[in-house]
Amino acid sequence: MALTDTDINLIDTLTTKSNQAGINLLKDFPEIRSESLEALKEFGLPGNKHEEYKYFNVSRKIKRDYNLELPQSIEVEPEWIKSKLVEDENGIHIVFLNGILMREFSKINNSIDGFEFFSLDDMTSNVNNILESYNHERQNINKDLYLDLNNALLNAGYALKINNEINSQPVYIYHFMNQEPADLLLNHKGIIVVEKNAKADISEIFYSENKNHYFRNHNTELIARNGALVNYHVIQECGNDSVSIHNSNIYQSANSRINTFTFSLSGKDLRNNLNMLLNEENCESHLYGLYFISNNDHIDNHTTVDHRKPHCYSNEYYKGIIDENGIGTFNGKIYVRPNAQKTNAFQSNKNLVLTDSATINTKPQLEIWADDVKCSHGATTGQIDEEQMFYLRSRGLDKESATALLLHAFAFDIIDKVELQHLRKYIGSKINKRLGYQFSD
Amino acid sequence: MLNIQDLKASIEGNQILKGINLEVKAGEVHAIMGPNGSGKSTLASVLAGREEFEVNGGEVSFEGENLLELSPEDRARKGIFLAFQYPVEIPGVSTTNFLKSAINQIREYNGKKPMDAVHFLKHIKEKMKLVEIDQSLLSRSLNEGFSGGEKKKNEIFQMAVLEPKLAILDETDSGLDIDALRIVANGVNKLRSKDNSVIVVTHYQRLLNYIVPDYVHVLYEGRIVRSGTKDLAFELEEKGYDWIKEEFNSTPA
């Protein structure tokens, strides 16, 4: 499919703007940017004719006159920030506002053994070491044109290295968006390396006020070395006039174990591409997801679990509640490559659809080339059980609280899997508030 | 307390109740018996407000008020309790989880102050003893993996906690062994008072040895075809339902 002049002009315009903004965070790795630009000029940004993006077409929205320059001074109430942090005294808290690292609100301690955090614009050799790792790993990944856009227009980011076998301090990274500036196109990248046998609890928490339009194209690259144990959490509350795309690539080495959690609570157009690459033997991956789609929100979760070597285990469990005019997609791919014998791969997706105008598209997709494997998948879509509803009402509960109770039970199946107590409480209270749940446990 | 007049109800076009008349006064225990498919459970469900059934005739008043206009929760708040024949499983919801809210929504409806956590706990403990039920069962997901007996005990426990004016037991004896039957019956008997009434829906006379009814009614083909005292239950136990059916079928409609 040939690109139209308009498509090419769009890429050129964005590139020019990016150059004018004068940010080139990958300048020591020019090939990353040039390869991505090439891909964009060849294929353009995916629209409704693109299989992977046919339910999620924001190619028209990107034509807006976006701002690629990050604001240098931001007015923000300290209390506004504080009220949105996880109440964990022991945690490392890293606050970004509109893409800018806010050191005054962050609690970062680089003198802790085995913990290194940098803003990507630090441009030091430490950052370059981490980028080097990423540049090596990324050769293996599935191509995605929004990831290319992120590489081409990158205007913010961080690098994080954890080399700590004790796992004493959870890391919380906040990505806040407030009312300023309008029409920001933010291409943010986080590169995380968890070293051999290290343990890490990492959370990326996205929160936006609803007021202004923005386009956030986020990318997280997580490299887990041999024997690493990582809990990676994503909590998303995006604006009701926003576009958010989050590409996550997770590279697993031998004997590593990764649990990912994706909580998507709001967003006008929100898309997650989560790719797990089980690159060596004896990897274990658990992918948990919970999405709550209401208003006119559109939330898509696309996951890939790529079994490339024998003796690995993966288990994926995503649940969703779709209310009002919400639209959602779950697409779960499992690849079992020819030599990935003795693979165990499981997947389950369960949805509750609460109104006649809510939509969910669910698509399990297993491609198995090895013959000695155990794989299963299942998807269910239903409504609130009428029998359960009648039972609770016959005990004196009104419809609203009976509904809240049943939805709570549905959702907490996933929330209970979060091991970090402070975080579990943080997510739990958000969900309960959302459900109008007022029961004591 | 409860006055049913010429009650008719159908489901998906099938007429199940064809004109029920029944009066239950405060303090009375009524047993409703009858062969399978006679409409016993339908009657219990209609009284509790199950929406699949269409009421297409007759009236039901509860303490002088039109019961049929009330939502299931408002019926519960007015003091009607249904012990389910097949209690549903609700994964992720425990009995104690919803009972506190239930009790307080009932209290609020009746203009009473909410019960605080301490009193609630005391209240719960008391009733646990009554039906010999274990705390661990109450904090587990409702009915998930419960034995038949545990499910029925849990129903009676909830009844004891909510202290209804009118309890309707829908085949609570089915699937119970003799020990569970005794415990369940004991729970019901403790609730009996001059102000409270019970409707026992059952297929067998066995339960009525433990919960002694004031009146026994036989339901057949959607109508009460015979009423009597507890002796009627013994007669049914001895002779079965066939003679009732024959008698009914030979009477011109």
Q: With CB atoms and an 8 Å threshold, state whether A399 touches B73.
A: yes
3-state secondary structure of A152: helix
Percent of chain B with pLDDT strictly greater than 70: 99
Interface of B with A in 13-32 (CB under 8 A): none
Give chain A's residues under pLDDT 50. none
Query: Mean of the pLDDT values across residues B183-203?
Result: 91
The predicted model scores a pTM of: 0.90
- The structure tokens listed for B58 are 């007759």
pLDDT of B42 over the 80 cut: yes
Q: Which residues of chain B are within 8 Å of residue A398 when distances are taken between CB atoms?
A: 73, 105
Percent of chain B with pLDDT strictly greater than 90: 69
CA distance, residue A432 to nearest chain B CA (Å): 14
User: Angle at the Cα of B196 (from B192 to B111), degrees rounded to 5?
Assistant: 130
The span from the CA of A269 to the CA of A329, in Å, is: 12
Test mutation, B52, B85, B86, B90, chain A, max A CBs within 10 A: B90
Nearest residue on chain B to A391, alpha-carbon basis: B88
Q: Which residues of chain A are within 8 Å of residue B117 when distances are taken between CB atoms?
A: 440
Number of alpha carbons in the 13 Å side-chain half-sphere of residue A415: 25
State the pLDDT at residue B251: 67
Q: Convert chain B into a string of H (helix), E (strand) and C (coil).
A: CEEEEEEEEEECCEEEEEEEEEEECCCCEEEEECCCCCCHHHHHHHHHCCCCCEEEEEEEEECCEEHHHCCHHHHHHHCEEEECCCCCCEEEEEHHHHHHHHHHHHHHHCCCCCCCHHHHHHHHHHHHHHHCCCHHHHHCEECCCCCHHHHHHHHHHHHHHHCCCEEEEECCCCCCCHHHHHHHHHHHHHHCCCCCEEEEECCCCHHHHCCCCCEEEEEECCEEEEEECHHHHHHHHHHCCHHHHHHHHHCCC
Ranges assigned E (strand) in A14-132: 92-97, 100-101, 115-119
- CATH number for the domain spanning B183: value is 3.40.50.300
Q: How many other C-beta atoms are found inside a 10 Å radius of the C-beta of residue B142?
A: 26
Question: Given A387, A390, A392, which is nearest B98 (Cβ)?
Answer: A392
Tens of pLDDT, residues A93-128: 999 999 999 999 999 987 788 899 999 888 788 888
Range of the domain at B17: 2-250
Question: Given A385, A399, A405, which is nearest B98 (Cβ)?
Answer: A405
Q: How many structural domains comprise chain B?
A: 1
What ipTM did this prediction achieve?
A: 0.95
The span from the CA of A267 to the CA of A296, in Å, is: 9
CA-based R_g, chain A, Å: 21
- The structure tokens listed for B250 are 């030979």
Q: Which residues of chain A are within 8 Å of residue B76 when distances are taken between CB atoms?
A: 393-396
**Banded model confidence at residue B252, pLDDT cuts 50, 70, 90:** low
State the pLDDT at residue B21: 95
Q: With CB atoms and an 8 Å threshold, state whether B73 touches A408.
A: no
Q: With CB atoms and an 8 Å threshold, state whether A409 touches B90.
A: yes
Closest CA to A397 of B165, B93, B242: B93
Find out whether A439 and A406 touch, Cβ atoms under 8 Å. Answer: no
Question: Given B82, B97, B101, which is nearest A394 (Cβ)?
Answer: B82
Find out whether B49 and A394 touch, Cβ atoms under 8 Å. Answer: yes
State the pLDDT at residue A23: 76
State the pLDDT at residue A262: 98
Number of alpha carbons in the 13 Å side-chain half-sphere of residue B181: 16
Tens of pLDDT, residues A240-274: 889 999 999 999 999 999 999 999 999 999 999 99
Q: Please name the residues in contact with B124: beta carbons below 8 A apart, sequence gap of 6 or more.
A: B96, B99, B138, B161
Tens of pLDDT, residues A197-218: 999 999 999 999 877 889 999 9
- The structure tokens listed for A279 are 């690159």
Q: How many other C-beta atoms are found inside a 10 Å radius of the C-beta of residue A380?
A: 11
State the pLDDT at residue A289: 98
A424 class by beta-carbon count within 10 Å (0-12 exposed, 13-18 middle, 19+ buried) = middle
Question: Given A390, A409, A410, which is nearest B72 (Cβ)?
Answer: A390
Q: Which residues of chain A are within 8 Å of residue B102 when distances are taken between CB atoms?
A: 392, 395-397
State the pLDDT at residue A50: 84
- The structure tokens listed for B52 are 């699949």
Test mutation, B77, B101, B141, B170, chain A, max A CBs within 10 A: B101
pLDDT of B229 over the 80 cut: yes
Test mutation, B41, B53, B73, B86, chain A, max A CBs within 10 A: B73
Q: Which residues of chain A are within 8 Å of residue B112 when distances are taken between CB atoms?
A: none
Number of alpha carbons in the 13 Å side-chain half-sphere of residue A17: 21
Nearest residue on chain A to B49, alpha-carbon basis: A394
| B87 contacts chain A (CB < 8 A) | yes
Nearest residue on chain A to B155, alpha-carbon basis: A395
Phi, psi of A175 (to 5 degrees): -120, 90
The span from the CA of A150 to the CA of A25, in Å, is: 11
Of A44-58, A239-253, B37-51, B81-95, the poorest mean pLDDT is in: A44-58
The span from the CA of B182 to the CA of B85, in Å, is: 17
Q: Please name the residues in contact with B122: beta carbons below 8 A apart, sequence gap of 6 or more.
A: none
Query: Mean of the pLDDT values across residues B94-104?
Result: 90
| B115 contacts chain A (CB < 8 A) | no
Q: With CB atoms and an 8 Å threshold, state whether B97 touches A441.
A: yes
Q: Which conformational region is residue B195 in: left (phi greater than 0), alpha (psi within -120 to 50 degrees), or beta?
A: alpha
The span from the CA of B31 to the CA of B34, in Å, is: 10
Nearest residue on chain B to A409, alpha-carbon basis: B92
A98-132 residues labelled b (16+ CB within 10 A) or e (exposed): bbbbbeebbeeeeeeebbbbbbbeeeeeebbebbe
Query: Mean of the pLDDT values across residues B80-92?
Result: 94
